[in-house]
A and B are shown apart, each in its own frame.
Chain A
Amino acid sequence: MASHTMPTAKPKLGVFKFASCDGCQLSLLDCEDELLAVAGAVDIANFPEASRAVEEGPYDLALVEGSITTPHDAERVIEVRRQSKFLISIGACATAGGIQALRNWKDVDDFTRVVYATPEYISTLDRSTPISVHVEVDFELRGCPISKTQLLELVAAFLQGRRPNIPTYSVCVECKGRGTPCVMVSHGTPCLGPVTQAGCGAICPAYNRGCYGCFGPMESPNTAALGHWWERQLDVPVPDLVDAFRGFNAYAEAFRTASDDYELRESRD
């Protein structure tokens, strides 16, 4: 009689890449000490960056890196979704459109004409968009790049069927936890930490730099109040405010609307 308990096969993992620098999927290889544990816990069935051996889908867990920038990718991601039980988008490109989403404020044809000798061969979309715009995503793991600790926690939580401990509060919580004095308060350095989601471990302020917003907007980002303080108290000019919010997570809604507001201000001033 067939047993209905404990399936013996390990969950199949697939890693898929769209428009990105590969840095996020490399964080999986960067796990080094923990990589063997990952390989022991899941069947790495499709991970071209790590192995040429590719197993066909379906996959139990898909890690999707990169944004959608071409018509071909817009179709491919639908197929990835179809093949995957649980789909996690990883990194700023996959969750917000990435730095390449700066094209969303420009005419992409202007770029292709300048960059390519034969622009008519280029088939590209005029917007870089996150995975969630195209298919349903089960979890979005933020960061440019993602944190390997968070990735391991997420994979462990998936395997154990529990909720992952991935906080959505601000970077400030991490600064305070490690005892880093606030760089805005103590030396007037503009910092996006109060409106940015934790996850990096507050690296930049620990080196006396302001946060660049690599992990995207936190759960309740008050970009207007932060921008107001930068402008009035830290003498940050409006064009710099536009640039600050237009980083790796430029197209994430809260940062997008903030930079649009300041750009509108800039055009009026």
Chain B
Amino acid sequence: MSTTAVVERENFEELFEALRARGYESVGPTVRDSTIVYDHIETVADLPVGWTDIQEAGTYRLVRRKDEALFGYVIGPHSFKKYLFPPRHTLFTLEKTSEGVKLVDAGDPVPQYAFIGMRPCELAAMSIQDRVFGEGPFFDTEYLRRRQQVFVVAVNCVETGGTCFCTSMGTGPKALEGFDLSVTELLGDAGHRFLIEAGSPLGEEVLADLPHRAAESGEVADAERLLEQAEGAMGRSLDTGGIKELLVGNPEHPRWERVGEQCLTCTNCTMVCPTCFCATVEDTQSLDGATAERVRRWDSCFTTEFSYIHGGSLRPSAAARYRQWMTHKLASWIDQFGTSGCVGCGRCITWCPVGIDITKIAAAIRASEEKKHALA
């Protein structure tokens, strides 16, 4: 859409100013509780300046970098999902009045969010949720009224995490679409600066507010080289060839039982997943019965209640629940929404308290399938 601009580090602060001037509330990465979470941010100083994260299955550690990079980490336990599809949300309340029951639509004002530092995998996840919530036959108005006004500042990944596999899922490490601005951070002898591309007219407008110059061809080449390196440095990989048939064709694979022995059914993988969209509604009433409230909250296919029908849960074992989640995510999601439900962010691997690795399970099932064919 436009040529690449360069904004120097000392002028990057102006991005926050330009967004604030347009009424946006910036949310993005910041350090809290030994991790990088997403929260309200006001200035560059709120970003995880000079921090990085080291991730492996079941472990995450925040460590100092040798430089003062603003985006020198990968992703943390939060995803931007929580702003568009809140963990808990009142849909409406009912009040008993002398004229009958009055419905009070919660319809609370929604902030106009600017998502700062959205990674390409997260952008892909949002596009998947756009499909789930916004492309019918049923529309989720709560999601849409939040989503429609979001301004996206994507940040390309020049470094990769230990559990990342976006290359396998075709979602990164460079954001190709769906952003208003996309940023690639450059450090080194030539100075700390950002290559910025606008992806929308609004993005161009915001970019015009920042002191910038046109990128030199060397700078663009540097960024391309870094992104290419990142592409080859993913901590994990997942072979997606025929994955749907592979998983759907192996419902009784012994690996499911093994993962069931390890799985805590704690729901962490589904809660940190940026595409998991399951929710349930709860109705409560005040003690005197004068008011009632309907709340929607995140649910998970790892709970007993999730598949409870009269008489019991359809998926009583951990093995059955893990199989359901993974098969939906990587296989039946394709039938349902036309894409994989996985973007390769690796959160389910890092944030599983016992380090269960979706890529290893897929690889194990594939390996035994290949062995079977080799013997046949």
Q: Contact: A176 with B350, CB < 8 Å?
A: no
The one of B33, B300, B351 in contact with A173, judged by C-beta atoms closer than 8 angstroms, is: B300
- Tell me whether A165 and B282 are in contact in the complex, defined as CB-CB below 8 angstroms, given that A177-B88, A220-B265, A220-B318 are known contacts: yes
Q: How far is the CA of A169 from the CA of B297 in the complex (A)?
A: 13
Interface residue stretch chosen among A81-89, A140-148, A154-162:
A154-162
The one of A37, A173, A180 in contact with B286, judged by C-beta atoms closer than 8 angstroms, is: A37
Q: What string of 1s and 0s marks CB contacts (under 8 Å) between B1-22 and chain A? A: 0000000000000000000000
Q: How far is the CA of A255 from the CA of B283 in the complex (A)?
A: 32
- Tell me whether A182 and B264 are in contact in the complex, defined as CB-CB below 8 angstroms, given that A194-B353, A226-B354 are known contacts: no
Q: A186 — which chain B residues lie within 8 A by C-beta?
A: 33-35, 60-62, 77
The one of B58, B283, B287, B351 in contact with A155, judged by C-beta atoms closer than 8 angstroms, is: B287
Chain A residue nearest to B265 in the complex (CB): A220
Interface residue stretch chosen among B43-51, B98-106, B128-136, B267-275:
B267-275
Q: A155 — which chain B residues lie within 8 A by C-beta?
A: 287
Q: Contact: B263 with A222, CB < 8 Å?
A: yes
Asked if B224 is an interface residue, CB under 8 A from chain A, the answer is no
Chain B residue nearest to A153 in the complex (CB): B284
Asked if B213 is an interface residue, CB under 8 A from chain A, the answer is no
The one of A152, A162, A176, A220 in contact with B298, judged by C-beta atoms closer than 8 angstroms, is: A176
Q: Contact: A177 with B297, CB < 8 Å?
A: yes
Interface centre among A37, A155, A179, A208 (most CB of B within 10 A): A179
- Tell me whether A152 and B87 are in contact in the complex, defined as CB-CB below 8 angstroms, given that A185-B60, A194-B353, A220-B318 are known contacts: no
Asked if A172 is an interface residue, CB under 8 A from chain B, the answer is yes
Q: A37 — which chain B residues lie within 8 A by C-beta?
A: 286-288
Q: B261 — which chain A residues lie within 8 A by C-beta?
A: 222, 224-225
Q: What string of 1s and 0s marks CB contacts (under 8 Å) between B64-95 and chain A? A: 00000000000011100010000110000000
Q: What string of 1s and 0s marks CB contacts (under 8 Å) between A163-193 and chain B? A: 0010111101100111111101111100101
Q: How far is the CA of A40 from the CA of B288 in the complex (A)?
A: 8
Q: How far is the CA of A40 from the CA of B267 in the complex (A)?
A: 39
Asked if A123 is an interface residue, CB under 8 A from chain B, the answer is no
A86 → chain B, closest Cβ, in Å? 16
Chain A residue nearest to B261 in the complex (CB): A225
A158 → chain B, closest Cβ, in Å? 10
- Tell me whether A176 and B286 are in contact in the complex, defined as CB-CB below 8 angstroms, given that A185-B60, A186-B61, A225-B262 are known contacts: no
Chain B residue nearest to A165 in the complex (CB): B282
Q: Contact: A170 with B288, CB < 8 Å?
A: no
Interface centre among A170, A180, A181 (most CB of B within 10 A): A181
* Residues of A210-241 contacting chain B, CB below 8 A: 219-220, 222, 224-226, 228-229, 233
Asked if A125 is an interface residue, CB under 8 A from chain B, the answer is no
Q: How far is the CA of A208 from the CA of B354 in the complex (A)?
A: 18
Q: Contact: A219 with B304, CB < 8 Å?
A: yes
Q: Contact: A169 with B267, CB < 8 Å?
A: yes
Q: B39 — which chain A residues lie within 8 A by C-beta?
A: 179
Asked if B242 is an interface residue, CB under 8 A from chain A, the answer is no
A257 → chain B, closest Cβ, in Å? 16
- Tell me whether A38 and B82 are in contact in the complex, defined as CB-CB below 8 angstroms, given that A165-B282, A186-B34, A193-B266 are known contacts: no
Chain B residue nearest to A178 in the complex (CB): B87
Asked if B166 is an interface residue, CB under 8 A from chain A, the answer is no
Q: How far is the CA of A169 from the CA of B306 in the complex (A)?
A: 10
Chain A residue nearest to B304 in the complex (CB): A219
The one of A34, A187, A224 in contact with B34, judged by C-beta atoms closer than 8 angstroms, is: A187
Q: How far is the CA of A176 from the CA of B76 in the complex (A)?
A: 12
* Residues of B17-63 contacting chain A, CB below 8 A: 32-35, 37, 39, 58-62
Q: Contact: B87 with A177, CB < 8 Å?
A: yes
Q: Contact: B37 with A179, CB < 8 Å?
A: yes
Q: A179 — which chain B residues lie within 8 A by C-beta?
A: 37, 39, 78, 82, 87
Q: Contact: B266 with A181, CB < 8 Å?
A: no
B162 → chain A, closest Cβ, in Å? 12
Asked if B285 is an interface residue, CB under 8 A from chain A, the answer is yes
Q: How far is the CA of A153 from the CA of B39 in the complex (A)?
A: 31
Q: A193 — which chain B residues lie within 8 A by C-beta?
A: 266, 353
Asked if A135 is an interface residue, CB under 8 A from chain B, the answer is no
Q: Contact: B287 with A40, CB < 8 Å?
A: yes
Q: How far is the CA of A16 from the CA of B288 in the complex (A)?
A: 24
Q: B37 — which chain A residues lie within 8 A by C-beta?
A: 179, 181
Chain A residue nearest to B86 in the complex (CB): A177
Chain A residue nearest to B321 in the complex (CB): A220
B327 → chain A, closest Cβ, in Å? 19
Asked if B355 is an interface residue, CB under 8 A from chain A, the answer is yes
Q: What string of 1s and 0s marks CB contacts (under 8 Å) between B246-274 and chain A? A: 00000000000000011111111001100
Q: B76 — which chain A residues lie within 8 A by C-beta?
A: 181
Q: B60 — which chain A residues lie within 8 A by C-beta?
A: 181, 185-186
Q: A131 — which chain B residues lie within 8 A by C-beta?
A: none
Interface residues in chain B, defined as those with a beta carbon under 8 Å from any beta carbon in chain A: 32-35, 37, 39, 58-62, 76-78, 82, 87-88, 261-268, 271-272, 282-289, 297-298, 300, 302-305, 316, 318, 350-355
A-B contacts, 25 listed (Cβ < 8 Å): A41-B288, A156-B286, A160-B285, A162-B283, A165-B282, A169-B304, A172-B268, A172-B271, A173-B267, A177-B87, A179-B78, A181-B34, A181-B76, A181-B77, A185-B77, A185-B351, A185-B353, A193-B266, A194-B266, A222-B261, A222-B262, A222-B263, A225-B261, A225-B263, A229-B353
Interface residues in chain A, defined as those with a beta carbon under 8 Å from any beta carbon in chain B: 34, 37-38, 40-41, 152-153, 155-156, 159-160, 162, 165, 167-170, 172-173, 176-182, 184-188, 191, 193-195, 208, 219-220, 222, 224-226, 228-229, 233
